[in-house]
Structure 1
Amino acid sequence: MKKIVLFALGMAMSMTTFAQDEVETTISADVVSNYIWRGQDLGGVSLQPTLGIAYKGFSLTGWGSVGLTDPTDTKEFDLTAAYTVGGFNIGVTDYWFNAGLDPAGRYFKYDAHGTNHVFEANVGYDFGVASLQWFTNFSGNDGANKDGKRAYSSYVEAIVPFKFASVDWTATAGAVPFATDFYNGWTSGFAVTNLSLKATKDVKVTESFSVPVFAQVAANPCTQKAYLVLGFTLIP
């Protein structure tokens, strides 16, 4: 699996059509009332910073999350290497969570049977009116299937952006296709785990500074839970 991912990244990096020509840097931070990830409730009020660079379609991004009100909320630090050309994208993410197989929560512990890291491959395509993404865990602290073996836990998601009443909207539908205990405690097979509708609007603070504010209604049909999330993004 690792060889396949590396080969695909190499092939994608050789294609520069439609790629950007200058190095771009991303610095931002979201503050959210509730951390909801793929239909899972991972914590309350959280700060989620992003730092990334991109060049000719290739990007390296660091993303994190830390709870602001509850010390037991999920702490997370993710590193993603990705490539985009035209509508096609491919990437690999190293997720680190403070909870996992290592009770001490050490970041630099990569032992196959004692790490809190999860390694995931992603491939997708943006058709313009909608995008489709597929994610699969291929190493690290993955879930188990019905036989107790590595599940190669997967998640597939369709995203539809649109504009309505001067507001940017995003509709998302996500599902877990195979049995795994990685998502929502346990899914015995195909399960819809994420249905959400998000609205984003820039709030003007000064003549030269505005803050994107968003609200999101999210539901997980598998666990029969629903959430209302409010947040804003700080971009220097």
Structure 2
Amino acid sequence: MKKIVLFAMGMAMSMTTFAQDAVETTISADVVSSYIWRGQDLGSAAIQPTLGVAYKGLSLTAWGSYGLVNPADTKEFDLTLAYTLGNLNIGVTDYWFNQAIGGDPENRYFMYEAHGTNHVFEANIGYDFGVANLQWFTNFAGNGGADKDGKRVYSSYVEATVPFKLATADWTATAGAVPFATDFYNGWTNGFAVTNLALKATKDVKITDAFTVPVFAQVAANPCTQNAYFVVGLTLIP
């Protein structure tokens, strides 16, 4: 899922180690041909808006995904509170999905019961090594996954990204894995499983002298489910 935590990661990588004195606002929207998140197919063409504020390394960001073609596709609304200190970043995300298995069939946003909510609460920690960025994510509350006996597990996901430039485009290579058994990713993983291998290229397309649109394409594969995906999209930034 292009998800809100990945936005916080990107912001962390782009920020310098010096604190910013002014409040920064982010407004953007991705339009994608399909919604692929951590190697999972969550729907067809979608618009994915972002609204965020940041001050001296602390950020609060809202992110969503809404299907443009199929009304049955996943609808999502996420809130992330993150903090960046130098190359280190930490964050907490509240995910809400309208199709959470085992959650609230009425899809109520303000339903927080332990065994009847569509919210997933996730913590993450990461470090940018320059040549690579490493992130660890763990669900700690909400509808965050279970084992075969129905017992709650702290579903986790670890991901490494490597940015590089090639042929006038910005590229990112990604490798992600689920370290422990859970039904949260791909329906079920029995243990350690590589779930996301991706290669993404982004290039600015000049529309006018004062306006450019970042356009991206990504090929992704999930070795665990033996699925492969090709996604194209663009980012609208006012």
Q: Normalising by the residue count of structure 2, what TM-score does the alignment of the two structures yield?
A: 0.91
Instruction: Letter of the 1:153 partner, please give it.
Output: S
Which residue is 1:96 aligned to? 96
Provide the rounded CA distance (Å) in 2 between the counterparts of 1:139 and 1:110: 10
State how 1:112-131 maps to structure 2 within 5 Å.
112-131=114-133
Instruction: Tell me the CA shift for residue 145 of structure 1.
Output: 1.9
Note the alpha carbon deviations across 1:37-85, whole angstroms, 9 max, x for none.
0000000000000000000000000000000000000000000000001
Instruction: Letter of the 2:230 partner, please give it.
Output: L
RMSD over equivalenced CA pairs, Å: 0.7
Instruction: Tell me the CA shift for residue 152 of structure 1.
Output: 0.5
State how 1:139-218 maps to structure 2 within 5 Å.
139-218=141-220
Structure 2 residue 29 is the aligned partner of structure 1 residue 68 = no
Provide the rounded CA distance (Å) in 2 between the counterparts of 1:22 and 1:128: 25
State how 1:223-234 maps to structure 2 within 5 Å.
223-234=225-236
Which residue is 1:85 aligned to? 85
Provide the rounded CA distance (Å) in 1 between the counterparts of 2:42 and 2:20: 35
Q: Give ranges in structure 2 of 5+ residues lacking alignment.
A: 1-16
Which residue is 2:107 aligned to? 105
Provide the rounded CA distance (Å) in 2 between the counterparts of 1:20 and 1:198: 29
* Identical counterparts, % of pairs: 80
Note the alpha carbon deviations across 1:63-114, whole angstroms, 9 max, x for none.
0000000000000000000000110000000000001210010001111111
Provide the rounded CA distance (Å) in 1 between the counterparts of 2:222 and 2:66: 23
Instruction: Tell me the CA shift for residue 147 of structure 1.
Output: 3.8
Structure 2 residue 25 is the aligned partner of structure 1 residue 25 = yes
Provide the rounded CA distance (Å) in 2 between the counterparts of 1:120 and 1:32: 24
SS of alignment partner, residue 42 of structure 2? strand
Provide the rounded CA distance (Å) in 2 between the counterparts of 1:151 and 1:31: 33
Are the counterparts in 2 of residues 172 and 194 from structure 1 also a CA contact under 8 Å? yes
Instruction: Tell me the CA shift for residue 36 of structure 1.
Output: 0.1
Instruction: Letter of the 1:43 partner, please give it.
Output: G
Provide the rounded CA distance (Å) in 1 between the counterparts of 2:226 and 2:53: 38
Count of aligned residue pairs for this structure pair: 220
SS of alignment partner, residue 199 of structure 1? strand
